[in-house]
Amino acid sequence: MLIDLCGTWEATIDDGVPRPFAVPGTLDGNGIGYPDLVREAKVRTADDDGSALVQGAADALGDAAAWATRLTRRHTYEGAARFSRDVDVTGRIPRGSRVFLEVERARCLSLTVNGEPIAHTAPGTLSTPHVFEVTGLLGGTPGRADRIELTGDNSYPGLPYEGIMRSSAATDETQTNWNGLLGYVRLRVEPSAFVDAVRAYPHGDRLRVVVALDAAEPVRGAVVRVESPALERSARRVTDLGRGVTEITFDALPLRADAARWDEDEGNLHGLSATLEADALRSRRTVRFGIRDFGTRASDDAAHGRLALNGRAFLLRGEANCAVFPEDGHAPMDKASWTRILGTYRSYGVNVMRFHSWCPPDAAFEAADEMGMMMQPELSHWDYGAAFEGDDAYAYYADELRAVILALADHPSFVMLTLGNELACGEQGHARMDTLLALARGLDDTRLYANGSNVHYGHRGCDAASDFHTSAKYRDGWLRATGSPMAGPLNERYAGADGDYSGTMTDLRGTYDRPVFGFEVGQYEVLPDFAQIDAFHGVTDPGNYRLIRDRVRAAGLDGERWRRRVEATGELALRCYREEVEAVMRTPSMSGLSLLGLQDFPGQGTALVGMLDAHLRPKPYDFARPERFRSFFRDRLPLALLPRYTYESGDVLMAPVRVANYGRGAIEGPVRATLAGDGVRLARTLPSVCCPAGALTDAGELRIPLDGVAAHAPLRLDLEVTAGDATNTYPIWVYPRTGGDAPACPPNVHETRRLDAAARETLRAGGTVYLAPPSTAEALPRSIRCQFSTDFWSVGTFPAQSGAMGQLIDAGHPLFARFPTAFHTDWQWWPMARRRAAILPGDPETFGSIVTELDSYAFLRPMTQLMECRCGGGRLLFSTFGLQDLTAYPEARALQAAIYAHLADPTFVPEREADPDAIAVLVR
């Protein structure tokens, strides 16, 4: 029997004033607390190894961006808060019953009943329910209410404060360090001996069941029975029970051969009941469980261990959930909300949810069980210096680990767990990690465990005691494409579709043969969409968003101009995410990748990296449509290993083709490819091949001669590759052939590296000047170094990056009739996008910018890479690309040819005008 205690309570904080308090709820949600003064936060520097700290965003960025830290709370409070109410249960509790007070989720929690302190029945944690036995303490005097007082303390006395406060379980960067009583708050009434828990552990065609029985006094001859439609037959045991908890284990119970298995996207669940009978005593508990095997499977090469579900290697397509819940400031506690949340992630292709340094409530796992979504919780732990080395931390996290594993035992969606995020420690800490991993396996060997996510930032290598390795690196080798300060293969290796992590994995496999997947992959920032500001109605205030919006307005960039910038950065981020995903798919020994992230992160310098806003809604732009992301974030995809995206007429497009098949069945038949667009259609069919499930299969080599293609004008084409029902499409650019020779400057154009006397004289005479200095800091003193991608996470957290956010291109400009382009950076811009951008003394549009370099909202510097203007009586085109040093690239030669043709065209008469002295300061 359950007695609901939700309703109006009384809350008292340190001011001593009692206030009405709605349960379930938090102090924030009830409007109780003080103004939130954003405290200076310690943020990691851009070396991405956590070895140094910068004190505050102001120190990292200067005053201009000191405000861009996080959302603020409308009310905040840290410390002890008393939640009290009177309860009258007279006549409602049968004689001889036992009574337990349960709170589903709280911070540090203590209880008194009528002033008498009551201990937990088991250690309370941030991740699991708090349970107190109050047998005999309530309803003892007819007509008199009993005083219940729960004290919640979010200053975590006696617990590892720093590790908890950095974690997503408590940080004000996302979930908030709330205080309150969430989920159910109730009395549970049981007989004197009862079934306390039923835990089901599937192993192939057998089931192990553990029944936990709790008796107030010894019971002789108790009958324990286990039943399920999924079992071939029920099981029965006669046993004696001692005082307290007794566990009865039923090993190797045979499962029915036709019992449906739980799998990805298939939430097949079965009921399981345990009954306790002894004389007149009877207690029954029913749970749901799924039949599935989660572990590892070796691929064709026995050294290449991969994650496997029901014996089938699958591709982990993960997302890191950092507990961003801006309206309530805490995770929802109901299944319907979690069904919606997980459904949103699934629409983008996610099949595994990683919960970054926190564990969601039981309702999240219930929803995931029914959906066939896999879940990876973590302990509430982020300590990148001395993890587990303090005795208090070690004791608490051992309690939390034990409680989480036991609480989630019946959820088939719970497949993996780590001991925290980006942990680092000395030898004692590592020895304790090993002990905790052994504890976890001893409790439940149907999941996989690791000592952390991105432990030591990957520099220490793989942990021999961990069942899997997830990190950004293996020692110095990358397992994702970027990191601050814009290092990594995406920005350092020439653009193509053939890169992978085989080199790193070869080194790794020398010492580690277990599953490996990428950690927090992506982190490509997108400029903020200010329409979401109006969605904040709850406990947090988007002051950081408003400040960004106000600075954008002051710069004259609001309205459609800003929307276009948001869209340009989003389109570029989408391309970068695709390359991250496909690079992993091209690496047969990697088990997948976990993103960061699909959802904006409103803290850590305001890291708006998502396709989804902070409220988990798709941003109102084409780049954020779920189907676009899901087109490559999926279990089956043909891959053309293109060494480059750009060609010249007469080249041969050659690429090995592989088929990544991590679905449930084989793909059989020919692989077809078509290169088409603008009057061109070239088709090829590769021989039939069988692509088994759980493997990356070679399907032959694609060869498409480009004779006659783009002989006279450049073309943007699509290469479509199809295997079975899976299709992938690549952009291809083909330019007229130059034979590798640099284009020649027209005779009527004065090309110069500096705005020297000869250049000024040409302008005074009404001539045309092409100002093309080397793309160096020395030649361009007012400039920044750019990169292909948008910036990483946020400059507030990683200040050792320039803040460059990709290009906004005037695609309708006449110059681009000879160099096809979209309005945003795409792969044919890779050599040029990585060059420098000049910081202008005013609005790029005023200066006639053709290719504007976008900037982080922390700076909003007006920048250009290519501009034209009337200047000093003549006409000027200014480039920061340094194309004279990029002649090895066909796209750079093509752009140079397009520039020369544009300059030689009689219609070259720029609309904008600039003073020569304003241009002169840009070039040394």
Tens digits of residue pLDDT in 507-530: 999 999 999 999 999 999 999 999
What tens digit of pLDDT does each residue of 159-183 get? 999 999 999 999 999 999 999 999 9
Q: In what order do the strands lie in the sheet with 636-640?
A: 636-640, 652-661, 695-705
- pLDDT grade for 42, boundaries at 50, 70 and 90: very low
Q: Say if residue 376 is exposed, middle or buried (CB neighbours under 10 Å; 0-12, 13-18, 19+).
A: buried
The region of weakest confidence among 69-78, 101-110, 283-292 is 69-78
The pLDDT of residue 164 is 98
Residues in contact with 677: Cβ distance below 8 Å, sequence separation at least 6, in sequence order? 715, 716, 717, 718
Q: How far apart are CA 216 and CA 402, in angstroms?
A: 23
Taking a C-beta distance cutoff of 8 angstroms, is the pair 134, 99 a contact?
A: yes
Domains with residue ranges and CATH for the chain: 2-36+74-190 (2.60.120.260), 193-289 (2.60.40.10), 315-534+575-621 (3.20.20.80), 650-735 (2.60.40.10), 749-920 (no CATH)
Cβ atoms of residues 589 and 509 within 8 Å: yes
279: CB partners within 8 A, 6+ apart: none
Q: φ and ψ at 704, to 5 degrees? A: -130, 105
Tens digit of each residue's pLDDT (9 = 90 or more) over 636-693: 999 999 999 999 999 999 999 999 999 999 999 999 999 999 999 999 999 999 999 9
Which pLDDT belongs to residue 298? Answer: 58
Q: How far apart are CA 630 and CA 319, in angstroms?
A: 13
Is residue 195 within 8 Å of 285, Cβ to Cβ? Answer: yes
Q: Are 69 and 602 in contact (CB under 8 A)?
A: no
pLDDT of residue 46: 32
Token output for 204: 């192939």
- pTM attached to this predicted model: 0.95
- Does residue 60 register a pLDDT over 90? no
Whole-number pLDDT of residue 141: 82
**Residue 194 pLDDT > 70:** yes
Distances (CA, A) of 495 to 289, 632, 741: 47, 18, 21
* Tens of pLDDT, residues 415-455: 999 999 999 999 999 999 999 999 999 999 999 999 999 99
Task: Please report the DSSP string for 567-626 in residue order.
Answer: HHHHHHHHHHHHHHHHHHHT-TT--EEEEE-SB-B-STTTB---SB-TTS-B-SSGGG-H
Q: Which residues pair with 354 in a beta bridge?
A: 320, 376
User: Contact at 8 Å (CB) between 601 and 525?
Assistant: no
Inter-residue contact 685 to 701 (CB < 8 Å): no
pLDDT digits (tens, 9 = 90+) for 542-554: 999 999 999 999 9
Q: How far apart are CA 304 and CA 298, in angstroms?
A: 6
Give the residues across from 669 on adjacent strands: 689
Rounded to whole angstroms, the Cα distance separating 462 from 464 reads 6
Q: How far apart are CA 498 and CA 413, in angstroms?
A: 34
DSSP state of 765: T
Residues 22-55 as b/e (b if ≥16 CB within 10 A, e otherwise) read: ebbbbbbbbebbeebebeebebbbbebbbeeebe
**What's the pLDDT at 317?**
98
- Residue 297: the pLDDT is 74
What's the pLDDT tens digit per position in 120-135?
Answer: 999 999 999 999 999 9
Average pLDDT in the 534-540 region? 97
What is the model's pLDDT at position 68?
A: 54
CA angle, 215 as apex, 213 and 219 as ends, to 5°? 100
Give the largest Cα separation in the chain, rounded. 112
Q: Which pLDDT belongs to residue 304?
A: 60
pLDDT over 60 (residue 301): no
Smallest Cα–Cα separation from 834: which of 882, 773, 785, 894?
785
One-letter amino acid for residue 784 of the chain: I
Q: Pairing mode, if any, of strands 98-105 and 180-190?
A: antiparallel
Count of other CB atoms within 10 angstroms of residue 575: 22
- In tens, the pLDDT along 818-877 reads 999 999 999 999 999 999 999 999 999 999 999 999 999 999 999 999 999 999 999 999
Whether the CA torsion 623, 627, 633, 636 is positive or negative: it is negative
